[in-house]
Amino acid sequence: MDLQDIRKRLEDFRSGKLTSAEKEELRGALSALTEEEHAALFPVEDYLQKGEFQLPEEEVTAALARLKQTTKPVGRVMMLTHWRKVSRYAAILVLVVGSTFLLRKTTGLFSGDGKGQTAKRFRAMKVPDGNQGTLILKDGTRIIINGGSELLYPENFEGAERMVYLRDGEAYFDIAQDAAHPFVVRTSQMRVRVLGTSFSIRDYRDEKHASVSVNSGKIALENLLTISHWLELSAGNGSVIDKYKGTITKQDIDTTTTTAWIRGELAFQDAALQQVLQVLQHKYAVRFEVKDSTLLKRRFTATFRNNSIQNIMQQLKLMGNIKYTITDNLILIQ
């Protein structure tokens, strides 16, 4: 089982699709990973930044509590001098990938007093579906956050880099220039490094692809699914990462389309129905159920401005010859 197979199995695990036998097979595959493979699959060491930029204490505490409830010690109990750092490492794994069995099989109980450890506290900004939020950081960076998204950011930037973590969702970044302190955006799939520019990232956990589009300036993009070189993107460039295959593509884009959502618009250019529905669910806080999966491949080109979900569905019906019913926040397509 290669890394991409493991990642797909993890997604299936998260959505409850694995049988007991498949879960055991996944645990075995994770236990057999080498250190390099483990780092490529879960590059959480970068989140720690050698002691800087820890997650908020309350989130770490909650994750460790879940660990105690669900993880049984395997082998000998580890007595570690820097137990808090290792505990944080374990907690971040839980928070990032959402399952406790990802810890190495040698991990047991941790003990210590935790003295001498300092943490740069992160704040979390969550924006529910159907909403949009704007955040101005202390360095002047402006971030527009789309519905169904969560962003972690430090109270104060310290050290060589200014780093934030887009845990889930989509956000547009207008970075304040500071050549001495590059700005870094992390998601579970990628790392973006810039000095001063504007760009957007889309990386929802339940979607098969993650994407970046550059509106102005330049960025360097690292695909965390594979061990590869940084990819440089300039204004008018975009990149798409396939989360299952681990591939990354670079292409020219229409930035007016990729940034339409921050203006309250929805723009689709030869987009599959599946992509259209993914955008609509976060814009209007609705759920979709598609009876015929072949419909998801039908493609649409359209721009919607200040439309209700009822109006949009009616236009999709006319353009794509589909039928639908709306019941509360559930839309059934057939």
Q: In three state form, how does the secondary structure of 156-182 look?
A: CCCCCCEEEEEEEEEEEEECCCCCCCC
Burial of 123: CB neighbours in 10 Å, binned 0-12, 13-18, 19+:
exposed
Mean pLDDT for the stretch of residues 28-54 = 56
pLDDT surpassing 90 at residue 332:
yes
- Range of lowest pLDDT (43-52, 72-81, 149-158, 224-233): 72-81
The verdict on 135 and 236 lying in the same domain is yes
The verdict on 224 and 200 lying in the same domain is yes
pLDDT of 162-179, one tens digit each?
999 999 999 999 999 998
The verdict on 80 and 171 lying in the same domain is no
The verdict on 207 and 295 lying in the same domain is no
The verdict on 28 and 59 lying in the same domain is yes
pTM over 0.75: no
pLDDT surpassing 80 at residue 37:
no
Which one of 236, 257, 278 terminates a domain?
Answer: 257
pLDDT surpassing 50 at residue 27:
yes
For residues 75 and 110, the model is more confident at: 75
How far, CA to CA in Å, does 12 sit from each of 18, 24, 267, 306? 6, 13, 30, 36
What is the residue range of 272's domain?
264-333
Mean pLDDT for the stretch of residues 237-251 = 90
CA 74 to chain centre: 31
The verdict on 163 and 253 lying in the same domain is yes
- Residue of 212, 143, 150, 218 whose CA lies nearest to 182: 218
Q: Residue 315: which pLDDT band, with cuts at 50, 70 and 90?
A: very high
The verdict on 98 and 186 lying in the same domain is no
Q: What is the pLDDT of residue 237?
A: 95
- Range of lowest pLDDT (126-130, 204-208, 242-246, 317-321): 242-246
Which one of 202, 222, 257 terminates a domain?
Answer: 257
Q: At 174, list the tokens.
A: 């207008």
122: part of which helix (H) or strand (E)?
Answer: strand 122-127
CATH number for position 310: 3.55.50.30
Report which residue type is found at 282.
Answer: H
Q: Residue 123: which pLDDT band, with cuts at 50, 70 and 90?
A: confident
143: part of which helix (H) or strand (E)?
Answer: strand 142-145
- Residue of 174, 154, 175 whose CA lies nearest to 165: 154
Contact between 119 and 234 (Cβ < 8 Å): no
Coil vs helix vs strand at 290: strand
Burial of 39: CB neighbours in 10 Å, binned 0-12, 13-18, 19+:
middle
Q: What is the pLDDT of residue 40?
A: 65
Number of independent structural domains in the chain: 3
Mean pLDDT for the stretch of residues 175-192 = 91
d(C-alpha 12, C-alpha 218), whole Å: 35
pLDDT surpassing 80 at residue 319:
yes
pLDDT surpassing 60 at residue 73:
no
d(C-alpha 276, C-alpha 281), whole Å: 9
Residue 46 lies in a domain: yes
Q: What is the pLDDT of residue 98?
A: 43
d(C-alpha 182, C-alpha 178), whole Å: 7
Contact between 64 and 83 (Cβ < 8 Å): no
